[in-house]
Amino acid sequence: MSKLWQKDNVSVNEKIEKFTVGRDPEFDVLLAPFDVLGSMAHTRMLESIGLLEASELAEIQVELQHIYQEIQSGNFEIEEGIEDVHSQVELLLTRKLGESGKKIHSGRSRNDQVLVDLKLFTRSRLQEVAEASNNLFELLISLSDKFKDVLLPGYTHLQIAMPSSFGLWFGAYAEALVDDMEMLQTAYKIANKNPLGSGAGYGSSFPLNRTMTTELLGFQELHYNVVYAQMSRGKTELFATTAIAQIASTLSRLAMDICLYNSQNFGFIKLPDEMTTGSSIMPHKKNPDVAELLRGKTNRLKGLPNEIQLVMGNLPSGYHREMQILKEILMPAFDEILNCLDMTYFMLSNIEVKENILTDEKYDMLFSVERVNELVLQGVPFREAYKIIGNEINSGTYSPNRNLNHTHEGSIGNLCNLQITNMMQEVLSRFNFEKAELAIADLLK
């Protein structure tokens, strides 16, 4: 079957075609609902500037609605010999409507068509990641509150340092997700700009109303400069994978803690037997495979921004075919991070926390700073108090003071979880998901 761009009496070498198409059909199916939404907005705009008759628009909108429903029910596919999702949607319209179906490409190029599809796709998936991250955040805050009085050794350089608590530990990862959400919000903002109407990167002689399609699709802003609209390809993917990588970094570190804390040498937490795996020769083994795989999967996700940087390196302005490869990097990343967030939530929901850990005398040295501070409160200068306790430790006369009195903001006795929750809510409010949701719902009416 001929391509949208193919000239008469010219055919592409089969080997070349296979190489250039690559895995596009596999990933284009994921773009299908967004391609239809883009076409619904674009054709409404075309009718408003006189490039479609009202009757043509009405039948196109009905058929696009039907295609959208087929996609949602899982009955959409890109047929053999059809190059991409854009060609498939246009083919379905033309089969059904004839000449009016052929008119929908007026005023746009496949370049801005795939761009708007990717922007809508990325915006939607980032919302899913934000919601899943917030679910994990709420669980971490809940666990922090629940175990706020259960003490835990704190470490620096993997040496015991000072008393910590499960409240601090869970709460630390909750606040980490607040910063990660800031990165997500930035990525969402970059994705939430409309490139439609930029054409192949140089606009159109048609009097397109780009503000109209921006509003119809619920974008926050327009990519005004048509050259930059095309240059945003790669940058959108980079910001999205950077945000994913930051969440992955948080989950990876948490997974590593769980691997350590679940081991017999630490013994601070326990994963239920049904969440561990055994050994083929050691009957006592209960391996934390779920945490180890989380660590591996999230570490791999941290490399995605670098992959995008390498693909996009040294490219001049304008469209270039290697941008197609970015789909293979970006699109599976959303499923992977969502799977990791879900598994982390499930694992933490079933974790068992050990109490009275610090009563063991091997943790006596954790309280050395408490003894120093005790002397300081009695009027001894800090440097002198430090030497006194150091000498007690060296001489074997040191006796720990296990009475903790940490009251400042963010410490064991004052976790500030309410303030951390307020920070998260403030970041979430800036996404303004409702604007996009309402616009898409209205478009589909």
Instruction: Give the catalytic positions in this structure.
Output: 157, 279
Instruction: Encode burial over 282-294: b for 16+ CB neighbours within 10 A, e otherwise.
Output: eeeebebebbeeb
Return the residue matching tokens 């910001």. Answer: 239
* Cα–Cα distance for residue pair 444/62, rounded to 1 Å: 10
Q: How many helices (H) and strands (E) does the chain have?
A: 17, 6
- Given a contact cutoff of 8 angstroms between Cβ atoms, the answer to whether 53 and 59 are in contact is no
146 token code pair:
């629940």
Beta strands in 166-239 (DSSP E): 193-194, 221-222
Hey, is 326 helix, strand or coil? helix
Characterise 315 by phi-psi region: left (phi > 0), alpha (psi -120 to 50), beta (else).
beta
- Given a contact cutoff of 8 angstroms between Cβ atoms, the answer to whether 127 and 433 are in contact is yes
- Given a contact cutoff of 8 angstroms between Cβ atoms, the answer to whether 237 and 122 are in contact is yes
* Cα–Cα distance for residue pair 354/26, rounded to 1 Å: 47
- Given a contact cutoff of 8 angstroms between Cβ atoms, the answer to whether 193 and 223 are in contact is yes
